Amino acid sequence: MSSFKEYFNKVSKNEFYKKWLKDAWPYITGAILLSLFQIVTLATTGNPWGVSGVFANWGAWIYEAVGGSVDKWYYFSSDGAQATLNNGFLNDPGTMRNLGIIFGALLATLLASQFKFKKIKSKKQVFAAVLGGLLMGYGARIAYGCNIGALFSGIASLSLSGWVFAIAMFFGAIVGSKLLVKFFM
């Protein structure tokens, strides 16, 4: 165990570790990497980057795993949606991207020594988080996209809907933050 601590102490003092893994990257680096990932995603899958639609597929796969059928549901009635469901969880490019985001964020947090459990301050905080998550998920599905699919991919595809989404999201964030402060803080 002491050799592990010695190794970690040695690594944490390494300049490469500090520069690339511990310290925050500049915003321009993040913007360039996001743009490159968007180009690669579009080139390899033929679809722009999306996140929330994949979660609907995950729900369908879970529902089918417990004996349900989504074949008659309108959302999954198209040939493309049926093909995605028939290919399975691990053969879906969107699933791979989402798992990469989840585990990549965890790895980045761990490598930067920023992982921590926070104390829940009140039931209002839990209620606000659950309500906000449900409303954002529902909104992403009825809008046919979240901030990634509708905003980032929309603007990258030179779609007017991406810019409309950006304006609506900006004003929604202002209203939402005021409601958050008024009722939950």
Amino acid at 171: F
Q: How far is CA 53 from the centre of its chain?
A: 11
Instruction: Tell me the C-alpha distance between 89 and 54, whole Å.
Output: 10
Is the separation of the CB atoms in 180 and 168 below 8 Å? no
Whether pTM > 0.75 for this model: the answer is: no
Amino acid at 180: L
Check residue 2 and give its pLDDT: 64
**Contact residues for 133 (Cβ-Cβ < 8 A; gap 6+):** none
pLDDT, block means (10 residues), the chain with 185 residues: 71 75 81 87 84 89 94 89 92 90 88 81 86 87 80 84 90 90 80
Strands (E), 11-89: none
Instruction: Tell me the C-alpha distance between 54 and 29, whole Å.
Output: 27
Check residue 1 and give its pLDDT: 56
Q: 149-158 long-range CB contacts below 8 Å, 24 or more apart?
A: 149/48, 149/49, 149/50, 149/51, 149/52, 149/53, 152/34, 152/38, 152/49, 153/38, 153/48, 153/49, 153/50, 154/48, 156/35, 156/38, 156/42, 156/48, 157/48
